[in-house]
Amino acid sequence: MITLDNLRDALRALCYEPSGDGTVYQKSWEETSAQITVDFSKKRIGYPKDLGFKVNKDTTCNFSDNENFVVLACVTMLLDKGYRPESLELEREWALGHEQKSGRADICINDERGDTLAIVECKTPGTEFKNEFKNMQSDGGQLLSYWQQERATRWLVLFACDFINNEIVPDQVSINCSDDENFIALAKRDDTIALYRDAHTVEQLHQVWTETYNQQVEGNILFGDRSTAYHPMVPPLLKKDLVDFRAEDSIVNRFEEILRHNNVSDKENAFNRLIALFIAKLQDELSKMPTQEIEFQYRQGRDTYETLQDRLQRLHSDGMRKLMREEVLYVPNDYAENLISNYTGQHRKKLIEELNGTLRKLKFYTNNDFAFKDVHNEELFLQNGKVLVETVQLLQPYRIVGTQDIQFLGDLFEQLLNQGFKQNEGQFFTPVPITRFIWKSLPLDSIVQDEAGAVHYPRVIDYACGAGHFLTEGFEEISDAACQYDPTIEDDLGDADWVRDNLVGIEKDYRLARVSKVSFYMHGAGQSNVVFGDGLENYPDKGIDSRTDRGRFDILVANPPYSVAAFKPHLKLHNNELKVLETISDSGSEIETLFVERAAQLVRPGATPPSSSPPRSSTRARARVSWPHAMCF
Whether 360 and 446 share a structural domain: no
Burial of 301 (0-12, 13-18, 19+ CB in 10 A): exposed
Position 449 in a domain: yes
Position 87 in a domain: yes
**CATH, residue 512:** 3.40.50.150
Residue 626's pLDDT is 37
Position 147 in a domain: yes
User: Rounded to whole angstroms, how far apart are CA atoms 535 and 575?
Assistant: 12
Residue where a domain stops, chosen among 114, 149, 176: 176
Whether 481 and 571 share a structural domain: yes
Put the strands of the sheet holding 460-462 in their side by side order: 529-532, 503-507, 460-462, 553-556, 603-608
Position 192 in a domain: no
Residue 632's pLDDT is 40
Contact 73/10 with Cβ under 8 angstroms? yes
Q: Nearest 5°: phi and psi at 354?
A: -65, -40
User: Rounded to whole angstroms, how far apart are CA atoms 91 and 300?
Assistant: 30
Give how far Cα 62 sits from Cα of 35, 38, 41, 45, 69, Å. Answer: 17, 9, 11, 6, 9
Residue 393's pLDDT is 95
Cite the DSSP H helix spans in 262-347.
Answer: 267-286, 305-323, 335-342
Whether 427 and 391 share a structural domain: no
Residue 625's pLDDT is 38
Whether 372 and 479 share a structural domain: no
Sign of CA dihedral 619, 621, 622, 623: positive
176-186 residue pLDDT tens: 999 999 999 99
β-pairing, 603-608 vs 553-556, is: parallel
Whether 305 and 447 share a structural domain: no
Whether 390 and 443 share a structural domain: no
User: Rounded to whole angstroms, how far apart are CA atoms 128 and 67?
Assistant: 10
Residue 27's pLDDT is 97
Whether 333 and 479 share a structural domain: no
Whether 252 and 147 share a structural domain: no
Residue 93 bridge partners (DSSP): 104
All residue ranges of the chain with pLDDT < 70 are 95-102, 344-348, 361-366, 405-406, 420-429, 487-496, 607-633
Q: Give the total number of structural domains in the chain.
A: 3
Residue 97's pLDDT is 52
335-375 residue pLDDT tens: 777 777 777 666 667 777 777 777 776 655 567 889 999 88
Whether 259 and 124 share a structural domain: no
User: Domain span at residue 171?
Assistant: 7-128+140-176
Whether 55 and 159 share a structural domain: yes
CA angle 564, 565, 568 (to 5 degrees): 90
Position 225 in a domain: no
To which H or E segment does residue 622 belong? helix 618-622
